[in-house]
A and B are shown apart, each in its own frame.
With several copies, the nearest count.
Chain A
Amino acid sequence: MLAAIGVDSLQEIFDRQIPPAVRLGRALELPDGLGEADVYEHLRALAARNTSTEDELSFLGAGMYDHYVPALIDMLMERSEFLTPYTPYQPEISQGGLQVMFEYQTAICELTALPVSNASVYEGPSAVAAAGYLAKLHNQASRFVVSAGMHPHTIQTLRTTAHGYGMDVLEVPLRDGVTDPDAWARAIDGNTSAAIFAQPNFYGAVEDAAALSAAAKGAGNPVVIAQVDPIALGVLKAPGECGVDVAVGEGQPLGNRLDFGGPSFGFFAAREEYLRRMPGRIAGETVDVDGRRGFVLTLQTREQHIRREKATSNICTSQALNALAGVAYLTWLGRRGIVELGELLLARTHYARERLAGLPGVEKLHEQPVIREFALRLDGNVAAIRRRCAEQGVNPGVDVQALSGREEDRGVLLVAITERRSRADIDRLSDVLAAAVAAETDASVPA
């Protein structure tokens, strides 16, 4: 090979290109390479030091949920044909991936009752930020108004990116567990670029989405953006039916593993008028020279590789494989299944909330309807109570203040229910939590 290149040594190739001053004159200080079995053992040992949802009875949620991932999804994601290709730049040999995107877009449009969807963005919170950027491009107004009921990570992400292009972010507080409608209407005006809320909100409460949308439109002309939980959309009025312009969300609950937070995908759907400002890939239908139906990446003039500094987003690699899991999961659930699942979660979540709120030292944070998750206020130190539960193999949920850093969240526990948490599991949680709260109360009472 060297002879063909016309050099005497491999070194010569580098010597002729990299100036000595910037050459690394030493070996990298990294451990020696290992054989496959040893790497496996090392990574297995690390995994063993994590307590997964397989190792305890977990009620953690707050954006990512321990739903069952059907085995066929693993199989599909591990097929070389889906796992290893790049973005489908050559459509003739990428019809599989492109058709998956097209089907995925169809499923997201159905879920959200909105007419257009892209083929995925990174994940939930950054999807909201991406929607905000769409609003900025759309109306060049100066402020985002967001409900304080959004996930703290979402608000933080939105602030980070909005700061880049000089946009203000104004938070509207909650009242009785949901976005305060008066404050919401007051906050929105002609300078509001987007009005953004979560459905259900971070504390599990179902917002009156239609009312929020209408109020926003009444108070100005913002793009109304909702961050929605996709599983809840089996029973919940769809964003498209509530006057929402752009619906985005975290796709993990749809057939994606927890993976300590990623990779998953963000979904992004909108009204028709926003189509040409959407970020990311969009697959579209067309025909080949022989008239066969086929799919291509379309409307690429929105994208960075064509439009460069004028692109609607800088996104390039997104989350195609995770979106495949998403559409395969929705297909697996099916038209009836998604409704049944929603009803099951409603019933179990209601049961769990009532049962736990009946314990001494435990009360509901709010009375709003909940679907898959709910917030409680505990009489005692949440971290300490959670530690006591953990000793019993139960993770009772998220310590909200630890996540949000907000003083008003002190004592708040967020409990998530999935189809994997049976009534018996909920009863066990109830017993363990009751004991933990009682013990913590005793411990904190000076003798």
Chain B
Amino acid sequence: MSPIDENHLHADPGIESHHPSSGANGSVPALVAAGVRASPLQLQAATTIFQKGAPGRRAFICPDVDVPVLDASEFLPERFRRSEGPRLPEVSEPEIVRHYVGISKRNFDLDSGFYPLGSCTMKHNPRLHERVAALPGHARLHPLQDPERAQGALELMWNLQGALSEISGLPHVSLQPSAGSHGELAGVLLTRAYHEDRGESRHKVLTPDTAHGTNPATVTMAGFEVVKVATNENGGVDIEDLRAKADTDVACLMLTNPNTLGLFDPNISQIAEIVHGVGATLYYDGANLNAVMGLSRPGDMGFDIVHFNLHKSFTQPHGGGGPGSGPIAVSDRVAPYLPVPVLTRREDGTFALDHDRPKSIGRLRGFHGNYGCFVRSYAYICSLGGDGLKDASEAAVLNANYLLARLRQHGVAEYLPLAYGDLCMHEFVLSGGPMKRELEIKTLDLAKRLLDFGFHPPTVYFPLLVEEALMVEPTETETKETLDAFADTIAAILREASDDPEIARGAPYSTPVRRLDEVLAAKQPVIRQALG
């Protein structure tokens, strides 16, 4: 425990003075003049854990070797042995805690403020979910435990599958994919298997130009060619363009509905007809499911394959970039190709894993998927129930429309008009074009200036077809007071910019670091700590 070690005991006090300081307290910040407010976080130079500690310090105490020790090479011949161990940090437990607690304070997070990041559904993460996921019966369950002795886990998965099936309106579910884009890959590979099984080899997949980047990237990875479909003036799929491109080379159309403009495509049934008409499948990117739970179902719209983002609609915490989970639901005709194993329920009500699925595309990863995420999302579904999920979607849409209305006020709408549509679903996209032209600040500047006010900015510069796009998704777990404060802050920043655009252009000011040089980072990549 104690970070005092032999080395220190006898070291000359000066000897370690070249060592980087230990965390928040380690450095003597430049003395700031009286009356000037220094942000303590800005005064701390970023120091990695590899720059801390001292030889011999440690946290882990290895259990004694309680078995006979032979000549080491008996166990492992010298030539297989590492000459020098990995140069991991040498720090005591208190140093580890302080280091990571310290750098955690350099993160903004959902528990600290509004996070209207469009397309990401940053809804509140109830702590109950962490509690239940940590129960040893879930957290310390080995994935290769005999199914007979993991019936609780299998039942949970079964129930979750059932709920996702009901919500999507599609009868078959696989929980295996690890995130949304992994679900997409599964889905497109299913499409491939479906066509191949029918003896067809189709090589194109359609995606609208509003599609998220993972859609075309997935298409390529699954060995298809991307064909873009245009967006019409209302923000929906351009039906004429679709008709023109939908031929029998097309394996699939990937769509999200509402789409990334936050708009529900009113022609969805017609779209499905066209796609099915040429024998292709219709894929639903479920990233925007939070708009329609209990209100409208992809299966009923004609989709064949859906992926869910449990880390969006079903509140698995994002963890700063994962973990996520991307289950898929499919129609009967796609079901034979689902990844193995498939969870089945026996006559006696017990659950089993079926590996004997000759048409399956195979596995997409090890074991059963991100079970820990299933636990959390299942807890969420149990908490809300059917009506609660519908309430959540309704409130998400209400909040988005309310915030949109507040941003259509005088002083904002002139600079940040709604890109398409009138009402919206759970999110909306503004264009910063007029702002850029008239106030001479870009969407990026507005975003960075928001940081000074304790708001996470909306998604910026996506979707690509909107100039200087600002994509706002408030979610249902925000209060009206927060929405009002956000709208007021946007208005205030625009007013400020009309006085002096330099302020926004120089923002942020109060964050632990200010604007960072991304070009430098990419030009001369330094992607690990240099070690002495």
Contact = CB atoms under 8 A, between A and B. Distances in A.
A48 B153 CA distance: 10
A51 to B, nearest CB: 4
Nearest to A56: B149
A295 interface: yes
A445 interface: no
Contacts of A99: 46, 48, 103, 106
Contact of B128 (A45, A70, A422): A70
Interface stretch (A3-11, A141-149, A183-191, A435-443): A3-11
Nearest to B525: A284
A37 B311 CA distance: 23
Contact of A18 (B49, B184, B296, B528): B296
A84 B100 CA distance: 15
A343 B153 contact: no
Interface in A158-208: 159-161, 163-166, 206, 208
A344 interface: yes
Nearest to B107: A96
Nearest to A424: B66
Given A18-B264, A50-B152, A160-B364, A369 B76 contact: yes
Interface string A329-342: 01111111111110
Contact of B398 (A1, A82, A299, A313): A1
A285 B512 contact: no
Contact of B107 (A64, A97, A282): A97
A341 B62 contact: yes
Contact of A159 (B12, B97, B269, B362): B362
Contacts of A282: 525, 527
Contact of B127 (A72, A165, A305): A72
Q: Which of B13, B80, B112, B529 has the most CB of A within 10 A?
A: B80
Interface stretch (B239-247, B374-382, B493-501): B374-382
B25 interface: no
Contact of A335 (B87, B213, B388, B512): B87
A28 B13 contact: no
Interface in B30-63: 42, 45-46, 48-50, 56-63
Given A35-B61, A292-B45, A260 B143 contact: yes
A162 to B, nearest CB: 10
Nearest to A403: B144
A6 B156 CA distance: 43
A39 B379 contact: yes
B224 to A, nearest CB: 8
A289 B82 contact: no
Contacts of B311: 317
A290 B514 contact: yes
Interface string B152-179: 1101100000010011010000000011
B192 interface: yes
A447 interface: no
B413 to A, nearest CB: 13
B367 A46 contact: no
Given A124-B366, A283-B527, A82 B405 contact: no
Given A84-B110, A93-B511, A309 B294 contact: no
A102 B51 CA distance: 13
B86 A110 contact: yes
Indicate the member of B62, B112, B372 with the most A CB atoms within 10 Å.
B62
B411 interface: no
A311 B82 contact: no
B304 to A, nearest CB: 15
B111 A80 contact: yes
Interface string B486-511: 00000000000000000000101001
B342 interface: no
B459 to A, nearest CB: 8
A322 B133 CA distance: 14
Contacts of A369: 75-77, 80
Range, interface on chain B: 35 or more
Contacts of A36: 60-61, 126, 128, 383
Interface string A22-36: 111001111111111
Contacts of A39: 128, 132, 379, 382-383
A317 to B, nearest CB: 4
A113 B506 CA distance: 41
B8 interface: yes
A49 interface: yes
B430 interface: no
Contact of A95 (B107, B110, B292): B107
B104 A76 contact: yes
Contacts of B423: 5, 7, 13, 16-17
B81 interface: yes
Given A260-B368, A395-B145, A30 B381 contact: yes
Interface stretch (B114-122, B327-335, B435-443): B114-122
A79 interface: yes
A390 interface: yes
Interface in A56-115: 58, 60, 62-64, 66, 70-72, 74-97, 99-103, 105-107, 109-111, 113, 115
Interface in B508-527: 508, 511-518, 520-522, 525-527
Contacts of A250: 366
Contacts of A156: 340, 362-363
Interface string B54-93: 0011111111011111101011110111110111111101
Contacts of A244: none
A74 B320 contact: no
Contacts of A336: 56, 58, 85, 90
Given A47-B152, A206-B76, A320-B321, A334 B141 contact: no
B378 to A, nearest CB: 7
A95 B179 contact: no
Contacts of A295: 46, 516
B226 interface: yes
Contacts of A347: 65, 67-70, 75
A11 B58 CA distance: 24
B261 interface: no
A125 B178 CA distance: 12
A136 to B, nearest CB: 10
A49 B296 contact: no
A303 B513 CA distance: 25
A220 interface: no
Contact of B366 (A45, A55, A153): A153
Contacts of A24: 169, 294-297, 300
Nearest to B8: A1
A92 B217 contact: no
Contacts of A208: 80
B152 A49 contact: yes
Contacts of B394: 10, 14
Given A16-B423, A161-B364, A343 B65 contact: yes
Given A51-B145, A79-B104, A261-B366, A307 B217 contact: yes
A321 B46 CA distance: 20
A87 B142 CA distance: 29
A179 to B, nearest CB: 14
B223 A390 contact: no
Interface in A186-240: 206, 208-210, 233-238
Interface in A291-330: 292-296, 298-301, 303-311, 313-322, 324, 327-328, 330
26 contacts: A1-B8, A5-B398, A13-B398, A16-B423, A28-B166, A39-B379, A46-B153, A50-B150, A66-B140, A85-B109, A88-B321, A93-B451, A94-B106, A96-B105, A100-B103, A116-B528, A156-B362, A285-B521, A285-B527, A292-B46, A294-B516, A317-B321, A317-B324, A319-B321, A334-B91, A338-B88
Given A71-B128, A86-B122, A153-B367, 18 more contacts: A30-B163, A34-B61, A39-B379, A43-B382, A90-B448, A100-B320, A103-B50, A122-B179, A125-B363, A163-B362, A258-B139, A282-B527, A298-B522, A316-B181, A324-B100, A324-B320, A369-B75, A419-B62
